[in-house]
A = this chain, B = another copy of it.
């Protein structure tokens, strides 16, 4: 249930239907971007990284994005909301029929406020059960890395995940058999003290939590390898964890039916995340 919405400057309280024009290119073509932001005691966590990613992707896709104005409006929007999950949607705005955008049309900006996620604390503490999706993720160098609105593959993968009894997440590989991410997470694993994560230049989302962890790993002097790996590589790891901006870090306690253990590097990174949250 949505708590509050803001559409191009107009605020809608809970229970009101927040409308957007059917001419919006976000609807017509998924022509836009989004961010999902954890709000902790009224504070938007990692907001600078979210806004930097939104701005960078908007620039690449040619969508107008004034992050200064956006940030002010967003801070107003989340005022006194306590713990919550917020979403920013930026689209290329309205247009006539056809793929070619009107360069003069203003972009559309939407904020949505949801209740905080109530994942059980033991998922971060004891770990999660991870399956392996069979449906292969597509490859798109034009779109890889961006958190754009073309997410139909994730919708189908999320339904596949729902079919794995007891699984909390699932590894997703692309059509070439390279592991890309979880269904709604990025993924890291550790072997012999080295951290591994998929290189995301052909598929996947460069998550803000992933970005935060890359910075923390650098600060901690951890060795990181970004590359092309397979499910077999992940299953051979000493530690595996998933991450996203809402839940933080979930260690795997079972991968594809095989028991595993949250390890020391995962625990160290969870500590960094707790410090960032101030908890």
Q: Which A residues are within 8 Å of any B CB, using their own CB?
A: 1-2, 5, 7, 17-31, 34, 36, 61-62, 85, 87, 89, 91-92, 96-101, 110, 112, 114, 135-143, 148-159, 162, 175, 183-184, 202
CB distance from A249 to the nearest CB of B (A): 19
Give the copy number.
2
- Assess the B100–A158 pair: CB atoms within 8 A: yes
Is there an interface contact between B29 and A27, defined as CB atoms closer than 8 Å? Answer: no
Beta-carbon nearest neighbor of A6 in chain B: B22
* Shortest beta-carbon distance from A250 to chain B in Å: 16
What separation, in Å, do the CA atoms of A192 and B162 have in the docked complex?
51
Chain B residues near A99 (CB, 8 Å)?
151, 154-155, 157-158, 183-184
Contacts of A92 in B (CB 8 A): 155
Instruction: Say yes or no: B101 contacts A31, CB within 8 Å.
Output: no
The answer to whether B149 touches A143 (Cβ under 8 A) is: no
In the complex, 30 of the A-B residue pairs with CB atoms within 8 angstroms, ordered by the A residue number, are A2-B23, A5-B22, A18-B22, A19-B22, A22-B112, A27-B27, A27-B149, A28-B34, A29-B30, A31-B151, A36-B97, A61-B156, A85-B97, A87-B97, A96-B114, A98-B158, A98-B184, A99-B151, A100-B158, A101-B159, A135-B142, A136-B141, A137-B140, A137-B142, A138-B139, A139-B140, A140-B140, A140-B175, A141-B175, A175-B202
| Distance in angstroms between the alpha carbons of A159 and B112 in the assembled complex | 30
Q: Who on chain B is nearest to A111 by CB?
A: B22
Known: A7-B22, A149-B152. 20 other contacts (CB 8 A): A18-B23, A19-B19, A19-B21, A19-B22, A23-B112, A24-B27, A28-B89, A29-B30, A29-B155, A36-B97, A98-B184, A99-B154, A99-B158, A101-B155, A135-B142, A136-B142, A138-B138, A138-B141, A140-B175, A150-B153
